[in-house]
A and B are shown apart, each in its own frame.
Chain A
Amino acid sequence: DSGVTQTPKHLITATGQRVTLRCSPRSGDLSVYWYQQSLDQGLQFLIQYYNGEERAKGNILERFSAQQFPDLHSELNLSSLELGDSALYFCASSTGDSNQPQHFGDGTRLSIL
């Protein structure tokens, strides 16, 4: 158990819809990262938050947004969903120190029909 909690585990929805994925980091971790993993793309970094502030952005689409709340949990919002958004979405957390590893949640499997 990594200590990172993601909900829901599975999500099935239709094209054009909007969903919210939730993540609670490990106790004591200030940094939260979101990743997308699909079969043909590997693990792609989307966005990082540190103590409530956006710190880094990766390959995140404009249709996607995220935030980190004062209690440090984070939400990833995906809108105008397309078939190609079907993937595993992982949240990871770390202390934020450069030599510390990321600890990953179990992921949310998003299926777009």
Chain B
Amino acid sequence: GQNIDQPTEMTATEGAIVQINCTYQTSGFNGLFWYQQHAGEAPTFLSYNVLDGLEEKGRFSSFLSRSKGYSYLLLKELQMKDSASYLCAVRASGGSYIPTFGRGTSLIVHP
């Protein structure tokens, strides 16, 4: 099976930088996804990492270290609209490639 850990909640100030960590244990690894989900809305895809290193997409970047079973999502120049839950999802190798979602990190951005 898989085990995914994320902090339950984080707070940050508008304009600042925040790093949301995700650690995972899986038998085989075939990719890690980050999704953003506003309360009561659909998760929306942010990033995908399958190789070690940093993927940058505008204000959002995602990092992966497969040897450490670790990823983080970095949000820069925080805006109030970034207040949301951030879900880390890990796909194991073999089988059906269904990603397992973490419980999510609720990020609160305050002025």
Chain A interface residues toward B at CB < 8 A? 2, 4, 33, 42-43, 45, 48, 55-56, 58, 88, 90, 98-99, 101-107, 109
- Pull 27 A–B residue pairs with CB atoms less than 8 Å apart, ordered by A: A4-B42, A33-B98, A42-B102, A43-B43, A43-B101, A45-B100, A48-B98, A55-B96, A56-B96, A58-B98, A88-B40, A90-B42, A98-B31, A98-B91, A99-B48, A99-B50, A101-B33, A101-B45, A102-B45, A102-B99, A103-B45, A104-B42, A104-B44, A105-B42, A107-B41, A107-B42, A109-B40
**Shortest Cβ distance from A6 into B: residue:** B42
User: What's the dominant secondary structure at chain A's contact region?
Assistant: strand
- What 19 new A-B contacts, CB under 8 Å, besides A98-B30, A98-B31, A101-B45? A4-B42, A42-B104, A43-B87, A43-B101, A45-B98, A45-B100, A48-B96, A55-B96, A56-B98, A58-B98, A88-B40, A90-B42, A98-B91, A99-B31, A101-B33, A104-B43, A105-B42, A106-B41, A107-B41
The range of chain B's interface size is 20 to 34
The docked-state distance in angstroms from the alpha carbon of A36 to that of B91 is 18
From A42, A43, A58, residue with most partner B Cβ within 10 Å = A43
By a CB distance below 8 angstroms, the chain A residues around B50 are 99
By a CB distance below 8 angstroms, the chain B residues around A45 are 98, 100-101
A31 to chain B, nearest CB (A): 10
**Shortest Cβ distance from A106 into B: residue:** B42
The docked-state distance in angstroms from the alpha carbon of A4 to that of B44 is 12
Pick the contact of A2: B31, B44, B48, B104 (CB < 8 A).
Answer: B44
Establish whether residues B48 and A101, one from each chain, have CB atoms under 8 Å apart when the complex forms: yes
